[in-house]
Amino acid sequence: MRIRRFDFDVLASLGIEYISPFDFARNRLHVPVDFAFSNSVLEHVPREDVAMLLDNLAADLSPRGTMIHCIHLEDHRDFSGHPFEFLSIPEETYTRALESSRGNRIRRSGWEDYFGGIKDTKSSFIYVWSRLGRELPTHIDQSVGYEDTDDLRVSHLGVYTQKDSI
């Protein structure tokens, strides 16, 4: 089928309900969904909201439902020149607004913990890309959790999550 016009009426005719704005960090849909997808979204969610957002998304997945998230872990202010510079900013000055605009600074190991903690699901990385050709800052703020320099250099993640059949 070819869609010549793409609007809310077309979505509705396909059985897709568009709901916006909607804050998954505060609410659930309470409607089972088979598939959820995000591209360059989760890195803009403030750290304190990530766990609840993922829990709410997963809770609304139907049994064996899946979600795929493509996460960009670089500084969104300057990902071509200094993609890791934001890791040096002190926690007390790295506000929710900066987490939303530049990135929440969660590294690969942190995302692994978040996704590993979602009840009744199994998650795996479908890709992990690193930027080896860019320098890391000389100082990494203590609020940035990481395992090693390889963890710091990860620039992009793809995460596949499937809900258990209940």
What is the per-residue pLDDT across 10-21, written as a single tens digit (0 to 9) for each? 888 888 878 888
> What is the mean predicted confidence (pLDDT) over 133-160?
97
Tell me whether residue 2 is in a domain: no
Domains of the chain: total: 1
Tell me whether residue 73 is in a domain: yes
Tell me whether residue 3 is in a domain: no
Per-residue pLDDT at 7 exceeds 90: no
State how far the Cα of 52 lies from the Cα of 118, in Å rounded to an integer. Answer: 9
Per-residue pLDDT at 3 exceeds 80: no
Tell me whether residue 92 is in a domain: yes
Amino acid at 150: D
Domain of residue 131 covers: 8-163
**CATH assignment at residue 55:** 3.40.50
Tell me whether residue 152 is in a domain: yes
**What confidence tens digit (pLDDT) does each residue in 100-130 have?**
999 999 999 999 999 999 999 999 999 999 9
The mean pLDDT of the chain is 94
Tell me whether residue 1 is in a domain: no
Tell me whether residue 20 is in a domain: yes
Residue that has been written with the tokens 């300057």 in this structure: 78
Tell me whether residue 98 is in a domain: yes
